[in-house]
Structure 1
Amino acid sequence: MRFADAAPGAGHPDGASGAEQTRRVTGHLPTGAPDFVYLPVEVPHGVREIAVSYGYDRPTVPDGTAGNACDIGIFDERGTDLGGAGFRGWSGGARTEFFLRADDATPGYLPGPINAGTWHIGLGPYTVAPQGLDYDVTITLRYGAPGRTPDPVHPPERARGRGRAWYRGDNHLHSVHSDGKRTPAEIAALARAAGLDFITTSEHNTTSSHRAWEGLWGDDLLILTGEEITTRNGHVLAMGTDPGVFIDWRYRARDNAFAKYARAVRRAGGLVIPAHPHATCIGCNWKFGLNDADAVEVWNGPYTPDDEVTLAEWDNTLVAHTRGRASWLPAVGHSDAHRDPDVVGLPQTVVLAEDLSRRAVQDGIRAGRVWIAESSKIDLAFTVTGERGEHAGIAERLGIPRTAKATARLEVSGAPGCTVSFVTDQGRLFTSPLPPSGTGTVTWQTTPDHAAYIRAEVRHPPTTPGLPGPMAAMTNPVFLGPGS
């Protein structure tokens, strides 16, 4: 797509403005089209703003057949190379139009210079109907003085906190900067109302929200930056990455590229956390394995059978760890809240951290000093003790002889109508109802010979035949017996 120079005196870099040019391109993508298709746009000098709108057809398809869905984004003159510097924004299928210029951009897109050169509109045919997908893209260039890109103001890496303490957070949240409907200000208010100490902004395939939280953090709320890397074979949270660092998503499991981008997340100071690994939406379930993960999201939003499957898979990794076959991955839980009535902080990850800072919270998660709750109304304390006063908390090891007695103790409050279970490598071995008030202490005794680890669950009464009740809270394990 080529644009002729603007009319003389109407849009040159000397500051005159007012001219604009519009071009339209249409095309057809067949079933089996590439995951990403790039439309080159030759941008001349003197452009102040690029505006893009698009649409595509949605033909009727038989039941059980995917229809058309097409994402969109843009790359500047630096190119479309995977992991390159050319990325300027992505809105997926959440918007039909966007703009960007030096001083501003549509949420999801990055303000900055509109330099001359070959830009690319990126189309992502998420699903294509048997009839194929017809697309229609309109691009408008507006000429004039370029404007100035404001310096971004990013959240600080530390809040006041309470010293070494259990801090509550939600690391999977979406705003208007991807496919959410809430503003950052609305999310921050909901986080405070939910009793959270920290949150992470995790928009789909963009970092545009990193600069959008100015004035919303405080002594009571730590805001971390990140991204939900949304590939065609699953989603992964880059939790707590450096502000402004973009991690690419344009690859599949078969491309054997994920380990490279997991390293990129860590270089940017983030954690790698596969999200909703067994979600049923197309492209949402995790196909990359867990070898490159730092933790795994076992509970996503209101507890569902999908989470039950993820929980069982995660528990199997604990068993493998006790047999020396793998390191263990901590479990975390997040709301994935997008819009009303999604509840921010349902669930929430509760982390034992040295202070309320980016590094301390990440260290706590990486070490597994974590339990998960459906709300801040629930509090718990989980320990395992030996006969001689030995003591271990969540993510620790109780190093006692294999035949020595170990007593698990769970103190719970705020869980009326719920039942406590202790789960080991043999499965659920002990269950006890809480008092009607939802506050109580449950103990159970075993030995390392019979339990390589113990973790605790607090559940509501069953609602789905054949499955235990929805989770109210759960812990990471305490390991038993000699070992490291």
Structure 2
Amino acid sequence: MREGPGFTESGAFGRRRLLATGAGAAFTLKGVRFPGSPPGPEDPPDRSEVVRGVLPPGAPDYVYLPVEVGPGVRELHVAYRYERPATPAGTPGNALDVGIFDERGTALGGKGFRGWSGGARTEFFLRADDATPGYVRGPVRPGTWHVVLGPYTVAPQGLSYEVTVTVRYGPDAPAPAVSYPPERARGRGRAWYRGDCHLHSWFSDGRRTPAEIAALARAAGLDFVNTSEHNTHAGHGHWAQHAGDDLLILTGEEVTTRNGHVLALGCDPGTFVDWRYRARENRFGRFAREIRRAGGLVVPAHPHATCVGCNWKFGLGEADAVEVWNGSYATEDEVALQAWDAALARGRWTPAMGSSDAHRHPDPVGTPQTVVLADGLSRREILAGLRRGHSYVAESSAVALSFSATGGRGVTAGIGERLRVPGDTPVTVRLTATGVPGCSVRLVTDQGVLHTAGPVGADGATEVRWHTTPRYATYVRAEVRHPVTVPGVPGRMAAFTNPVFLGYGEGVLGDA
């Protein structure tokens, strides 16, 4: 057992070296070393080292503990704990995340990543045939590994931590074969498909298994889901058996930076996207390009969430879509919707999505869900529909919408498309909705809400028509809302559409 390096009275790490990575800089502690040869017959089969230290307020985003691993190690096990002192009201307490990189190093975006559990677990292990959920199984090769500590928040008293590293010797067990979900399900040809693209299982900080999530997705009437564990791709190889002709499973990641979260949606299985940077470092563009090279979409998640580090600060310049509705509709979703609409009015077209962000019971899977028009139920076709904004968001599979604009000689454009007619052409906007009893309809343009209708009768079905011109409204979108419960505040959302764009336009808004 050793007393690990910590900060001195001057505020610097003892015996430290500066490592240029992550948020400007990270610190590497004095490490632990295990003997270069396996134990003899009289020695215990396991060896452990304990490191203790204190991180002050203002500690670096990431602190690395080197672990020198010799030959013959079968399994690496890490356990950690830290103090959680009381703090004044309104002051964050201690929260410490953990993960690990192997002997290939900690370079940003490099190949050394072997797992992350954030603050969801107090211990983890890795070996050739198995690993803790969230960690990548594989042999424990000789070299310098790094346990990474992430002080998410630090109390005014500082964060006292203890890390125990154990190596277990012996031969590796055979590694099981890895299979990934198929990229196509049977589908219904060109149709509207329902999906939930933001879900967490026990491979990050969720509590459900992939089997449980797949069963809940089917019960919610979903056609596809996207795996989105925090900062790890380790679960990708555990979903194949839960896919089927009726359920397409896409693989992705929720990239959880200190300046907001972004979904890497529908990437090639096995794709890892690094998260160790802040907006001021101007590195996000590199990782957005990596997501696209892996076939995925870049989707900022809950951009106006109020939790520490959740509010999106990288802008929408790299976004393929944006998650406007996250989980049960709340104030932060209303703020996100209004910010998205304001961007539309300024000429920035970023398709809107909605997802459940479900973690555990009783979080409902598929509330809300994105309903996308696609040529088939495949990864390529679903992502193409989402990228084009041919989609709407609904609170459940009970809600169905049809929304279009018709003008000129019967020319019609649907959601995410442009109706290309002269500015003075009469246009008829038509919405049909089912499954929305008691709700009201609002038609929203760049000028704001220009038409309302409702409430809908007990059968939950309605049809709304509105007449306009492209000169009067450059776009129109629909909202279906539950009754108002707080005077002056719009009712809770039941569904909303992406816009239909009207007129020839001057930019690239809508389908070109």
| Length-normalised TM-score, structure 2 | 0.91
Taking the aligned partners of 2:73 and 2:108, their CA distance within structure 1 comes to 26
Task: Tell me the equivalent position of 2:33.
Answer: 2
Code of the aligned partner of 1:119: W
SS in structure 2 of the partner of residue 312 of structure 1: helix
Q: 1:329 aligns with which of 335, 338, 350?
A: 350
| TM alignment of 1:56-455, pairs within 5 A | 56-321=82-347, 326=348, 328-433=349-454, 434-455=456-477
Taking the aligned partners of 1:175 and 1:80, their CA distance within structure 2 comes to 26
Moved more, 227-236 or 441-450: 441-450
SS in structure 2 of the partner of residue 384 of structure 1: strand
1:447 is displaced (CA, Å) by 1.0
Report if aligned partners of 2:182, 2:240 keep a CA contact under 8 Å in 1: no
1:471 aligns with 2:493: yes
Report if aligned partners of 1:201, 1:223 keep a CA contact under 8 Å in 2: yes
Report if aligned partners of 2:389, 2:498 keep a CA contact under 8 Å in 1: yes
Task: Tell me the equivalent position of 1:459.
Answer: 481
Taking the aligned partners of 2:271 and 2:410, their CA distance within structure 1 comes to 47
Report if aligned partners of 1:154, 1:213 keep a CA contact under 8 Å in 2: yes
Two-structure CA RMSD over aligned residues (Å): 1.1
1:10 is displaced (CA, Å) by 7.3
SS in structure 2 of the partner of residue 246 of structure 1: coil
Note the alpha carbon deviations across 1:379-421, whole angstroms, 9 max, x for none. 1100111153121111111112211211111001001110011
Taking the aligned partners of 2:335 and 2:52, their CA distance within structure 1 comes to 43
Moved more, 25-34 or 431-440: 431-440
Moved more, 211-220 or 189-198: 211-220
Taking the aligned partners of 1:465 and 1:235, their CA distance within structure 2 comes to 33
SS in structure 2 of the partner of residue 45 of structure 1: coil
% identical equivalent positions = 65
1:465 is displaced (CA, Å) by 4.1
SS in structure 2 of the partner of residue 240 of structure 1: strand
Taking the aligned partners of 1:235 and 1:463, their CA distance within structure 2 comes to 31
Report if aligned partners of 2:38, 2:71 keep a CA contact under 8 Å in 1: no
Report if aligned partners of 1:10, 1:144 keep a CA contact under 8 Å in 2: no
SS in structure 2 of the partner of residue 215 of structure 1: helix
Taking the aligned partners of 2:181 and 2:501, their CA distance within structure 1 comes to 37
Code of the aligned partner of 1:430: H
Moved more, 143-152 or 211-220: 143-152
The ranges of structure 1 where at least 4 consecutive aligned residues each deviate by more than 6 angstroms after the TM superposition are none
Aligned residues: 473
Unaligned runs of 5+ in 1: 12-17
Code of the aligned partner of 1:344: V
1:9 is displaced (CA, Å) by 4.2
SS in structure 2 of the partner of residue 208 of structure 1: coil
Report if aligned partners of 1:10, 1:143 keep a CA contact under 8 Å in 2: no
Task: Tell me the equivalent position of 2:52.
Answer: 26
Task: Tell me the equivalent position of 1:15.
Answer: none
Moved more, 348-357 or 143-152: 143-152
Taking the aligned partners of 1:225 and 1:307, their CA distance within structure 2 comes to 25
Note the alpha carbon deviations across 1:326-352, whole angstroms, 9 max, x for none. 4x1100000000001111000000011
Taking the aligned partners of 1:27 and 1:466, their CA distance within structure 2 comes to 52
Task: Tell me the equivalent position of 1:14.
Answer: none
Taking the aligned partners of 2:425 and 2:269, their CA distance within structure 1 comes to 49
